[in-house]
Structure 1
Amino acid sequence: MTSERIKASLAPCGLNCEKCFAHVDGDIRKYSLKLKEKLGNFHLNAKRFETLLDDPIFKKYADFKEMLDYLASENCKGCRNEQCKLFKDCGVRRCHQEKQIDFCYQCDAFPCDRTHFDEGLYNGWVQINEKIKRIGLEEFYEQTRNRPRY
């Protein structure tokens, strides 16, 4: 895969946008839409199955359906195309545009405090960028492209 195609998949922070549940072309959205299609009008029968199967799990179907609808409806086009829809206060995109760099590890100030990430995301961001710097963009992408993001 070309570096340009990889850059289209990975956000400037190094996270794979296409693996995000909010990405319009991501697998999570694709499979959520497929599951909604396969379930059809199951919600109409969930109450019946609760009694018929004597299983209280079906009381939770409305919550499951709400979550599935949410996962199927998101439509982010990725951080290189628009501001992140999940981390509205993310400072990475703005910084990457100002500094005209592709990834955070390329910046002399990396790691910095401009991300506005919580501790867990910040630590992951540092690890991802250090790994890209160490093994290279193409190798990083090959090693991570089939792994779940979460």
Structure 2
Amino acid sequence: MEYQQIVKEIAPCGLDCRRCAGYSQGEIKEHSTKLLNLLGNYERLAKIMSDHNPAFSDYQSFKEILTSFSQASCAGCRNDASACPVDCIAKTCHKEKEVDFCFQCKEYPCSGQNNPMLRERWLQKNNRMKEIGVVEFYNEQKRIPRY
């Protein structure tokens, strides 16, 4: 994949929007929608199956979660219509600094990303991109689970 396409899919912090459960153009939304369509009116059969496998008695809860995934609406962190619930400075800072990714900034690593949980992941992902390059980082990321 080319660099400019990768910029559309990888957030400035290094997280892969394309594989985020909330991303409107993401794989999780795509697969959830497809699975809902394939299952159709499975509720009827889930009742029958629950006699043999108790897990099916929770089918309605499963379907609600799957439906929620299929309704993902976030446009990604680079978009003004971002619906990401994480308060991350990189969403706006990269625009001000005119860089695609945090590691490209002359001030990286800065103290702006001060949430301890986010900071560790942010440093790890940006250091890895800096080490192997954005294209190889993208290829590496798509081989591992998002969560």
Query: TM-score if structure 2 supplies the norm length?
Result: 0.86
Contact 2:76 2:84 in 1 (8 A): no
- In structure 1, the residue matched to 2:137 is 140
**Residue number among 88, 95, 98 corresponding to 2:96 in the alignment:** 98
- The Cα of 1:2 is off from its aligned counterpart by 2.2
1:24-76 deviations in Å (ceiling 9; x for gaps): 2221111111110111111233233223x2x3212211211111011111022
Q: Paired residues, what number?
A: 147
Give the match for residue 31 of structure 1.
31
Aligned-residue sequence identity (percent) comes to 39
Per mean C-alpha deviation after superposition, the further-off stretch among 19-28 and 82-91 is: 82-91
Quick check: 1:24–1:74 contact (8 Å CA) kept in 2?
yes
> Higher mean Cα deviation, 140-149 or 71-80?
140-149
- Counterpart in 2 of 1:18? 18
1:67 aligns with 2:58: no
42-51 or 126-135, which deviates more = 42-51
Q: Which residue of 1 aligns with 2:44?
A: 44
In the TM superposition, residue 141 of structure 1 has moved relative to its aligned partner by 1.8
Amino acid at match of 1:96: H
1:131 and 2:102 are equivalent in the alignment: no
Q: Compute the displacement of 1:142 (Å).
A: 2.4
Secondary structure of 2:21's aligned partner: coil
Q: Tell me what 1:2 maps to.
A: 2
Please give the root-mean-square deviation of Cα atoms over the aligned residues, in Å.
2.0
- The question of whether the paired residues in 2 share the 8 Å contact of 1:76 and 1:84 is answered with yes
CA distance in 1, matches of 2:32, 2:38: 10
Gaps of 5+ in 2: none
- 8 A contact 2:75–2:81 mirrored in 1: no
Task: Give yes or no for the alignment of 1:79 onto 2:77.
Answer: yes
The residue aligned with 2:146 is 149
Could you say if the C-alpha distance between residues 116 and 31 of structure 1 is closer, same or farther in structure 2, counting changes exceeding 3 Å? farther
